[in-house]
Structure 1
Amino acid sequence: MAFASPLEFTTQLSSTAKRSNLPVLLPQSVGPTKPVRRSVSAYTSQNGAVPRRPVQRLRVAYQGVPGAYSEFAAKTACPDCTAVPCKAFIDAITAVEAGYADRAIVPVESTLEGTTVRNYDLLLHHDLRIVQEINLFVHYCLLAMPGVRKGELKKVISHPVALAHCGRNLNQLGLNGEAVDDTAGAVELLLSNRMLDTAAIASSRAALLYGLNVLAHGFQDESWNVTRFLILSKDPVVARLSLFGLKTSMVIAHSGMMLTVLLGVLSAFSSRNINLTKLEMNPSSEVDGPISILDVQGGGSIKEFPHVVFVDFEGSVDEQKVKDAIDEISKLSVFVRILGCYSADPNIYDLH
Structure 2
Amino acid sequence: MSKGRIAFQGELGANSHEACTTLYPGWEPVPHGTFEDAFEAVKSGDCGLGMIPVENSTAGRVADVHHLLPSSGLKIIGEHFKPIHFQLMAQKGVTLEELTTVTSMPIALHQCRKTVKALGLEGRAAGDTAGAARIVAEGADRTVAALAPALAAEIYGLDILARDVEDEHHNTTRFLIMTAETNPPAPAFTAPCITSVVFRVRNIPAALYKAMGGFATNGVNVSKLESYMEDGAWSATFFYAEVDGRPEDRNLARAFEELQFFSEKFEILGVYPADPFRS
Q: TM-score, structure 1 length as denominator?
A: 0.71
**Contact 1:244–1:346 (CA<8 Å) still a contact in 2?**
no
**Structure 2 SS opposite 1:291:** coil
1:121 aligned residue (63, 67, 75): 67
Residue of structure 2 in register with 1:160 after alignment: 106
Residue of structure 2 in register with 1:211 after alignment: 157
More helix by proportion, 1 or 2? 2
CA distance in 1 between counterparts of 2:189 and 2:90 reads 43
Residue of structure 1 in register with 2:140 after alignment: 194
**Structure 1 SS opposite 2:269:** strand
Residue of structure 1 in register with 2:58 after alignment: 112
Residue of structure 1 in register with 2:196 after alignment: 249
CA distance in 1 between counterparts of 2:114 and 2:208 reads 38
Deviation at 1:215, TM superposition (A): 1.8
Structure 2 runs not aligned, ≥5 long: none
Per mean C-alpha deviation after superposition, the further-off stretch among 63-72 and 326-335 is 326-335
Identity %: 32
2:271 matches 1:324:
no
Residue of structure 2 in register with 1:291 after alignment: 230
1:83 aligned residue (29, 53, 70): 29
Deviation at 1:341, TM superposition (A): 0.9
Residue of structure 2 in register with 1:8 after alignment: none
Q: Deviations over 1:274-317 (max 9, x none)?
A: 222223x335xxxxxx433xxxxxxxxxx956223331111112
- Asked which structure has the greater CA Rg, the reply is 1
2:234 matches 1:234:
no
CA distance in 2 between counterparts of 1:210 and 1:147 reads 14
CA distance in 1 between counterparts of 2:127 and 2:43 reads 23
2:105 matches 1:181:
no
CA distance in 2 between counterparts of 1:144 and 1:341 reads 43
2:235 matches 1:306:
yes
Could you tell me which amino acid in structure 1 is paired with residue 241 of structure 2?
A: V
CA distance in 2 between counterparts of 1:81 and 1:180 reads 28
Per mean C-alpha deviation after superposition, the further-off stretch among 237-246 and 96-105 is 237-246
Deviation at 1:182, TM superposition (A): 1.8
**Contact 1:141–1:204 (CA<8 Å) still a contact in 2?**
yes
CA distance in 2 between counterparts of 1:164 and 1:245 reads 35
**Contact 1:255–1:306 (CA<8 Å) still a contact in 2?**
no
Q: Deviations over 1:241-296 (max 9, x none)?
A: 155321101123347579x34433442112112222223x335xxxxxx433xxxx
**Structure 1 SS opposite 2:276:** coil
After TM superposition, what 4+ stretches of structure 1 lie above 4 angstroms from structure 2? 255-258
Structure 1 runs not aligned, ≥5 long: 1-54, 284-289, 293-302
Q: TM-score, structure 2 length as denominator?
A: 0.89
Q: Deviations over 1:188-214 (max 9, x none)?
A: 111112331211111122223332121
**Structure 1 SS opposite 2:131:** helix
Judging changes above 3 Å, is the alpha-carbon distance between structure 1 residues 84 and 167 closer, same or farther for their aligned structure 2 residues?
A: same
2:269 matches 1:339:
yes
Judging changes above 3 Å, is the alpha-carbon distance between structure 1 residues 56 and 275 closer, same or farther for their aligned structure 2 residues?
A: closer
Judging changes above 3 Å, is the alpha-carbon distance between structure 1 residues 60 and 198 closer, same or farther for their aligned structure 2 residues?
A: same
Deviation at 1:97, TM superposition (A): 1.5
